[in-house]
Structure 1
C-alpha cells in the first residue's frame, strides 16, 4: 500500500473514534472551549515529537513563505476552527449517525477547490462519485414519504445545515493543508503544533465567554488530546504525500467508523439507514479518489 494512503486510513480510524468521543463524553461544553482544551493537551502530547524530530534548517522563513504562504496558513487555521465549531453545533442537535455522513462529504467540496485553484481536472468517474456522495444526504434524511421529502428534511434540518457548512470549511482547510505541506514545504512536525496553537488562539476569545469548569473532565480531555495529536500527525503525513483530492476521501471514511460506534454503542435510531448513507458517502468519495488517480496516471504516462 502507498504510504500516503496507509497514513490516510490510520487518520480515518482515529478521527472516527474522535467524533464518537465528542458526542459521548463531552456534553455541556461549548464547541470553542472543547477545541481550546483539547488543543492544549494535544500540543503538550506532541511537543516531544517536535522537539526531537524537527530540523531547524528545514523551517521556512516568513520571507520564503511570502504573503500568499502566510495567508494560506492563516486561512487554514481559521477554517479548521470554524469547521469544528459548526460540527459540534451539528452534533449537539443531531445523532452521530445522522451528522457524520453529511459532514464527511468534504471531498465533494475539495475537488472543485483544487480544480479552480490548483488546476486539477474533473473526470467522468469523479462526477459519478459526486452524485453518489450526494445521495448520502438523501438517504440520511430518508424516513419514508414522498420522493422529495428527504431533501426538504435536509434543507430544514439545522444539524444538516451545520454539518454541510462544516464540510465546506474542512474542504478549504484540507486544500490548505496540502498546499502548506507540499507547495510550501512546511515540515509535518512543525505544521501539527502550528495548527493546534493557531486554533487555540483563534477560538480562545469565543471559549472564555462560555467557559465551564474542566477539572472533573481533565482525564477525558487528556485522552482526547492524545488521540487528536496522533490523528493530526498521520493526517498531515498523508497530505504531505498525496493530493488533497486523494487523501481527503480516504480520511473522511471516518464517517463509517463514527456511524457504527454511534449505532452500536449509543443505540441511535435508524442505524441501518444511516449506515447505508455512510457507505454511500464513502463510495462516492472513493470514486472521486479513483478518478483522480486515473487522471494522475494518464498525465504521468
Structure 2
C-alpha cells in the first residue's frame, strides 16, 4: 500500500506538469493527432523497458479470453475518448478552469467500484464526494447569484467536455484496476498496450485532421512522449496494487499542480478562486481515499 501511494503521488506530479505542457506547447494541434504522436514517442521510450522487464510466457496468452480482451478494449477506448475530450476542453478554456472539473474522476470511480467490484462506501467517502462536487461549484464561481456557477457550467462547452472526460476516465480507471489485478496483466506489458491501443483508436481521426507542421516540433514531441511514458508507468504501478478508489483520487490531485502552473506561468484569470477549487478537489478526493 505504501509503495502504491508513492507511485500514485509521483504520477500526480508527472501528469500535473503534463497538463501545463499540453496547454503551453501543443495548443494548436488537433487532439487526436497530438495523442497519436505523443503516444508513439512514449512507446519508443518505453520499448526497452518492455523488452527487458516483461515475462512473455505462454500462460499469459492462453488466459486471454473474450471477456479479458473486452475489458482491455473498453479501457483503451474510454482512455482515448477521455483524453481527446480533455484536450478539446483545455483548448477552449483555461487550464485552471477546466482541470478542477475534469479531475473529479473519483466521484464516478467509487460508485462504479461499489456496483461492479463490491467496494463499500464510508461516511468519509460520502463527505469527499460532496466536497469534490463543491469544488466544481467554486471553479465556476462568478458574482451574480448562488445558482450562477451552475448556469455557467451548464452553458460552458469546456466545462461540459471536462465533465464528460471525467466520466470516461472513471470507466478507464476501473478497467485499469481489473486488468492489472484481476487479470494480472504485467505492468510493463500494460503500459505499451494501452498507449498503442489508444493510438490505434485515434489514428483514423488523426489522419483526417493532421497537424500543419511537425518537423520543428520533434524535440517537444519527444519530450512530451517521455512525460507520457513516465506518467503511464507510475500510474500503472499504482493501479497494480491499490484499489481504483484509492489510486484515482491520489493521482487526480494533479489538478492543483496544473492550476498553479496555469495561474502563475500562463497568467490565467480568476487564479485565486480556481486555486481554492483545486484545493477543495484535493480535500474531497483525499476524504474519498481515507
In the superposition, the TM-score normalised over structure 2's length comes to 0.98
Q: Give the gaps of 5 or more residues in structure 2.
A: none
Answer whether contact 1:36 1:204 (CA < 8 A) is retained.
yes
Distance 2:41 2:225 in 1: 5
3-state secondary structure, aligned to 1:230: helix
Pairwise CA distance, 1:123:
1.3
Query: 1 CA distance for matches of 2:166 and 2:147?
Result: 23
- Is 1:260 equivalent to 2:260 in the alignment? yes
Q: How big is each residue's C-alpha offset from its partner over 1:63-84, in whole Å with a ceiling of 9 and x where there is no partner?
A: 4132211100000000000001
Match for residue 123 of structure 2?
124
Q: What is the aligned partner in structure 1 of residue 219 from structure 2?
A: 219
Q: What is the CA-CA distance between 1:28 and the residue it aligns to?
A: 1.4
| 1:54 Cα offset (Å) | 0.7
Alpha-carbon distance, 1:144 to partner: 1.2
State whether structure 2 residue 4 is matched by structure 1 residue 4. Answer: yes
Instruction: Write the distance in 2 (CA, Å) between the matches of 1:58 and 1:99.
Output: 44
CA distance in 1 between counterparts of 2:235 and 2:222 reads: 20
2:30 is matched with: 30
1:59 deviation in Å? 6.2
For residues 1-301 of structure 1, the aligned pairs below 5 Å read 2-57=2-57, 60-61=60-61, 63-212=62-211, 213-290=213-290
Deviation (angstroms), 1:251: 0.1
Contact 1:137–1:277 (CA under 8 A) maintained in structure 2: yes
- Displacement of 1:285 in angstroms is 0.7
Q: How far, CA to CA, are the matches of 1:255 and 1:132 in structure 2? A: 15
Which residues of structure 1 form unaligned runs of 5+? 291-301
Structure 1 consecutive aligned stretches of length 4 or more whose deviation exceeds 2 Å: none
